[in-house]
């Protein structure tokens, strides 16, 4: 029965431009990399979703080298959280399980990929642009993701302001170093910000 889940997901996703590699189905739309992942376990079968902006990832790789992919983890969600906020697994012997999972995928999962197609939406929905810096925790990947998204928007001054957030005593030092590295790359500490935004 587990095989029927894979076949059903494959049928649904291939018609929408995804290509399968093992338990992952991937498509690229514009700058966006989108992945649907089938996960199996003792509880049954569930589906995870991952996405990232490839142009922003290029900046992470430019700044951090091969570690850039680690510094910028993809955004993720699980099907149950999208449906009703609870973790949801479909049993391998569940009647019509493959169909109900596919229906949830189409109704709740695939629309998740459309929530942040623009840089403005990514800055707001992924990185909380509207959250005041004083209310924002010191999370290195989030601060950097927001700053580089703002940089791509041409908002270099705002990007530098994000990266100048005061460092609390409890901050993880690896995050502090990473933020400092991006601040230097953007030339935020120069007398005047001179890093030109991308074309």
**H, E, C per residue of 29-56:** ECCEEEEEEEEEECCEEEEEEEEEEHHH
Task: Give, rounded to a whole angstrom, the gap between the first and last alpha carbons of the chain.
Answer: 51
Residue of higher predicted confidence among 68 and 33: 33
> 128-155 burial string, b = 16+ CB within 10 Å, else e?
ebeeeeeeeebbbbbbbbbbbbbbbbeb
Confidence check: pLDDT of 1 > 50:
no
Confidence check: pLDDT of 192 > 60:
no
Average pLDDT over residues 108-123: 94
- The share of the chain scoring above pLDDT 90, in percent, equals 74
User: Residue 73: its pLDDT value, please?
Assistant: 86
> What residue spans define the domains of the chain?
2-52+74-112, 119-185
Average pLDDT over residues 91-110: 89
User: Residue 135: its pLDDT value, please?
Assistant: 86
User: Residue 34: its pLDDT value, please?
Assistant: 97
Residue among 113, 126, 125 nearest 17 (CA): 113
Q: Which of 93-102, 162-171, 186-195 has the highest mean pLDDT?
A: 162-171
DSSP letter at 21 equals E
């Amino acid at each position: 029965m587990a095989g029927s889940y894979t076949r059903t997901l494959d049928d649904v996703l291939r018609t929408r431009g995804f290509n399968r590699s093992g338990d992952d189905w991937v498509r690229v739309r514009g700058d966006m990399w989108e992945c649907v992942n089938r996960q199996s376990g003792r509880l049954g079968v569930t589906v995870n979703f991952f996405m990232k902006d490839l142009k922003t990832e290029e900046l992470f790789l430019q700044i951090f080298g091969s570690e850039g992919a680690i510094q910028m983890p993809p955004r993720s969600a699980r099907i149950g959280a999208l449906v009703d906020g609870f973790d949801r697994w479909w049993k391998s012997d569940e009647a019509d399980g493959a169909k109900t999972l596919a229906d949830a995928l189409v109704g709740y999962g695939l629309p998740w990929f459309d929530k942040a197609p623009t840089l403005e939406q990514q800055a707001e929905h992924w990185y909380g642009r509207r959250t005041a810096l004083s209310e924002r925790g010191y999370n290195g990947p989030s601060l950097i993701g927001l700053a580089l998204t703002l940089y791509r928007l041409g908002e270099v001054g705002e990007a530098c302001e994000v990266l100048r957030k005061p460092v609390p005593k409890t901050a993880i030092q690896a995050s502090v170093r990473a933020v400092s590295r991006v601040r230097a790359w953007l030339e935020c500490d120069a007398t005047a910000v001179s890093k030109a935004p991308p074309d």
